[in-house]
Chains A and B, each alone.
Chain A
Amino acid sequence: MSEIHSTHAEAQVAAHAHAHHDAHGHHKESFISKYIFSMDHKMIAKQFLITGIFMGLVGMSLSLFFRLQLGWPNQPMPILETFLGKWAKGGILDPNFYLAAVTIHGTILVFMVLTAGLSGTFSNLLIPLQIGARDMASPFLNMLSYWFFFLSSLIMMISLFVETGPAASGWVVYPPLSALPQASQGSGLGMTLWLLSIALFIVSVLMGGLNYITTVVNLRTKGMSMTRLPLTVWAFLITAILGLLSFPVLLAAALLLIFDRSFGTSFYLSDIFIGGQALEQTGGSPILYQHLFWFLGHPEVYIILVPSLGITSEVIAVNARKPIFGYRAMIASMLAIAFLSFIVWGHHMYITGMNPFLGSVFTFTTLLIAIPSAIKAFNYITTLWKGNIRFTPGMMFAIGVVSLFITGGLTGIILADSALDVNLHNTYFVVAHFHIVMGVASMFGTFAGVYHWFPKLFGRMMNNKLGYAHFWLTLISAYGVFFPMHYLGLAGVPRRYYNYTAFEIFNGFADLNTLISIFAIIGGLAQFIFVFNFIYSAIKGPKAPQNPWNSTTLEWTTPVEHIHGNWPGAIPEVHRWPYDYSLPDREEDFVPQTEPLKEEEKVHAHH
């Protein structure tokens, strides 16, 4: 049934592409329709990636600004004044702007970079290419998805320049702090722009997600059954479903916050006395916001992480020249993680005054996530076992993902435990945990993807030597920044503090904070190696061969030069799963998905 369905859909798309081709046969595409308002998934992928890299650099710079403050508290840093002007008079960072930098750093990295930059780029690039489709189900919606994202990023950037400063209540923007301009100057115009930006962002995610799901379900080529999909596509599919189910809840949360801020409602506000006045709002609950926020917020963690894990699966299998170990277990564990991610949000709220019984339930469900996560980690490790590993920069970053996923995931076991969270909540232990497992691991996944699929993005190869330098510097500085933070957290050092000079008990950590900042600066500078490599290779890099990594999947059967519709002739038919690497009775160490099964294989085929 599903096969009939997909052939039908394919025929339709092919017919469409054909008609399209005829209609435009005589004139070239204009600059605007090709590069700006493009409806081609490959171009949109590049747009997402380049915007994501730009936003990534902005988010990273903000983190370096506040790391300068934390590493050398109250020491004038002229460079801060150069970049921030009135927010760092005399080179001393303003405490309000410190919080704003922390807030916007988090927002940009979580949403603009690791959601849009990661999913947007690779779902767009790889879904049609790997399932054998000529484009997304709705190219127009796809284009809109990018432009809403662009608008959202633009507004977030504008908010950095308003007089009262950008939003400064942490990336979680808990009301009442975020609702009342009297409570924080960032909660004025800056917060309005933040909410507007996020609302547009959610629209972008939803349009993108709908498209990814529809495309995977309907537009698979003949023979591409669900169990023959590369794990990347599975990961993008699951990510899109997560986003579709959870982002609307954030929109609701944001909308109610807008009402509270502008129209005097009291969804989140109650019994507040501020600026010498007793506010009218009564009956609302700030905790309601937290429930809504984290109902997105927790799945969001997996929206960020799962695509990285998908990319890692693919890159590790290709470069270890082995099938990914436990293909079905990998899918099952991703599904399990995705399902569980919806029933664990309360672990962010153990100490909000929530009923302790609820705390027990959330502890239980949260710790369950460790099981599918462990399966994934062991399966990656077993995939390396007896492999024949080529260390391309992509592969190095993929191994990095596994290492970071383990290191950061393990501390999650501690934070999931409500009894232990009491004392670690909002300390640097949390900062260390989520930066390693979700931030850096996903960033590494993104880099793995960029290095690995760069030939598909730009038809050229990236420079390996620069890739190595980028990898080692990034890995060392990532561990150098975030590993010591565990000890700060265990000592009870709170996050989002402008400085610790008023706390004698934390005096001993001054050196450590300086060390962390030094690693952060090294890591930050190392990213310019990547940016240089990226730009240089996109323009001047050596031309890529069609299948540079000897990979089995469909994207490497398309021509190097991008063409509209992806394949010049008919869409290839798929005959086998994507992981036929190093089959024992074969001369070559990979068999493309398009190669028909031989008679003897049909008998033994387990997939």
Chain B
Amino acid sequence: MLMNILLAAVIILTIITAARLLKVFEFTSILRGRKPYDISESENNITALMFLLSMVGLFSMFIYFTNKYYNYKYLLPPAASIHGKEVESLLELNLIIITLAFFITQTLLLWFAYRYRYNKNRKAYHYAHNNTLEMVWTIIPAVVLSVLILKGLIVWNQTTRKSEDVDKVVFELYARQFDWTVRFAGKDKLLGDANYTMISGTNTLGLITPELVDEQLDALNKEKARLETEMNEKFPNKEKLAELKTAYRRLKRQLQLVMEFKKKSTEQPYQTAYDDIVFQDTIYLPVNKTIELHLRSQDVIHSAYMPHFRVHMYCVPGVKTGFTFTPTITTAEMQAKLGNPNFNYLLFCNNICGSAHYNMQLPIVIVTEEDFTKWLNSKKTVGEQIAEKQGTVSEVPSTEQISADSTKQTAMKIHL
């Protein structure tokens, strides 16, 4: 407390002193026969010189930072995808052009500021306009921009072109606060249908298969019964009751929607999830294969950013988005290239999504096609997992099973 008062006193005294000093300064300049706000020619010359120095400073800063940071030690390593290479060379072209423009215009601006500083023997040159000059600096930027627009659109078309490749790898990234889930489409190259009403502690992606629909109906009905008993108990807390009512209303609607899936669960789209493979740790992808990435989100907008491949796309709840690319360098090759055995490709969220937005990442490992197939075969498919669980389901009540499986999701407060 005493410190704070002292600090405040010091600040107030400083301000008063500064104000007094200014007054003194003003009086002395009046005594010298000048107005306190007049700018003398020598003062003006110093400022002009400072502008010249600021030009030197600006360019030195540019050179220092570019020299230090514009290299593979700091920047992203060379693009590791086919379209990424094009993007990289387009970026370089753009950077060269804007650097040139930066140097030319800043030199002119700051040099003129210095060169044409006030001189009482000189009069400014009344020069209001010149059509030729203005045409020049309309046409030159227009021509340069045409080139940039054209090149840009060509690269953009390459980047966003839909692949006709039948031998592609289809996988899905599913985002939620604050992690990623990965799903490969399996042998049929079709991602099984999913819906947010099907999400549960075990079925985090909301996949739809006849078994999962039954399981979900079962869980929802149990939850419904639980809510009903809880609501029928006496609740002095109005807020709590309102919360329960909302939850109950939502649950009933969810039940209805899941019932719809029940009716249609023998249809083809609900059979394709069996060979899908779901996991949450590292993303493995094969090199030199077309990768068709599908994106979904469970709660808010996230963004799947894989800067090494120049891949970036929003994950939007209720909307399906995607990106197609072809990795060209395996992780091992890149590690050798950079001389950094710890190097890893990364996926991270790049659209503000809540408090832990800053830590929503997943490593990506690019391997050869054989290694990829080997790795994929070692993983259990959704169908296999269902079958396994069906075997145990009679012994273990589903509520406990789910809570055991979903220690990761305590934050989701699921009471199934």
Contacts and interface: CB of A to CB of B under 8 A. Distances in A.
Contact of B318 (A285, A494, A582): A285
B48 A391 contact: yes
Nearest to B159: A419
A464 B39 contact: yes
A423 B137 contact: no
Nearest to B73: A508
A385 B342 CA distance: 55
A417 B148 contact: yes
A411 B62 CA distance: 14
A463 B98 contact: no
A323 B110 contact: no
Given A183-B354, A322-B127, A423 B37 contact: no
Interface stretch (A8-16, A145-153, A205-213, A398-406): A398-406
Contacts of B26: 542
A139 interface: no
Contacts of A31: none
A170 B355 CA distance: 12
A392 B118 CA distance: 11
Interface in B186-218: 195-197, 199, 206
Contacts of A286: 301, 316-319
Contacts of B317: 176, 269-272, 286
Nearest to A289: B301
B103 to A, nearest CB: 10
B105 A422 contact: no
B350 interface: yes
Contact of B199 (A278, A360, A475, A505): A278
A184 B15 CA distance: 42
A287 B87 contact: no
B375 interface: no
B242 to A, nearest CB: 14
B414 interface: yes
A356 B251 CA distance: 38
B312 interface: yes
B44 interface: yes
B152 A418 contact: yes
A364 B350 CA distance: 25
Size bracket, chain A contacts: 35 or more
Contact of A484 (B65, B109, B118, B119): B65
Contacts, number: 375
B145 interface: yes
Interface in B79-95: 86-87, 90-91, 94-95
Interface in A558-606: 579, 581-584, 589, 606
B352 interface: yes
Nearest to A183: B300
Interface stretch (A114-122, A249-257, A325-333): A325-333
B124 A276 contact: no
B94 A427 contact: no
A353 B148 contact: no
B299 interface: yes
Interface in A33-62: none
Contacts of B376: none
Interface in B284-328: 295, 298-301, 303, 305, 307, 310-314, 316-322
A491 B75 contact: yes
B67 to A, nearest CB: 11
Contact of B358 (A322, A426, A427, A498): A498
A176 B301 contact: yes
Contacts of B415: 276
B74 A381 contact: no
Interface string A274-309: 111111101111110000000000000000000000
Contact of A532 (B18, B39, B101): B18
B228 to A, nearest CB: 16
Contacts of B320: 353
B201 to A, nearest CB: 9
Query: A353, A356, A380, A392 — which one has the most chain B CB atoms within 10 A of its CB?
Result: A353
Query: A95, A168, A410, A502 — which one has the most chain B CB atoms within 10 A of its CB?
Result: A410
Nearest to B305: A494
A247 to B, nearest CB: 24
7 contacts: A183-B177, A321-B123, A323-B127, A384-B113, A385-B116, A406-B102, A419-B152
Interface of A: 95-96, 99, 168-170, 174, 176-177, 180, 183-185, 269-280, 282-287, 320-323, 325-329, 351-353, 356, 359-360, 363-364, 367-368, 370-371, 374-375, 377-382, 384-392, 396, 399, 402-403, 406-407, 410-411, 413-414, 417-420, 422-423, 425-427, 461-466, 468, 472, 475-476, 479-480, 483-484, 486-487, 490-492, 494, 496-500, 502-505, 508-509, 512, 532, 536, 540, 542, 548, 579, 581-584, 589, 606-607
| 4 A-B pairs closest in CB distance | A270-B318, A492-B307, A353-B321, A356-B160
Interface of B: 15, 18-19, 22-23, 25-26, 35-37, 39, 43-44, 47-48, 50-51, 54, 57-58, 61-62, 65-66, 69-70, 73-76, 86-87, 90-91, 94-95, 97-98, 101-102, 105-106, 108-110, 112-113, 116-119, 122-130, 133-134, 137-138, 141-142, 145, 148-149, 152-153, 155-157, 159-160, 177, 195-197, 199, 206, 247, 249-251, 253-254, 257, 295, 298-301, 303, 305, 307, 310-314, 316-322, 342, 344, 346, 348-359, 361, 412-415
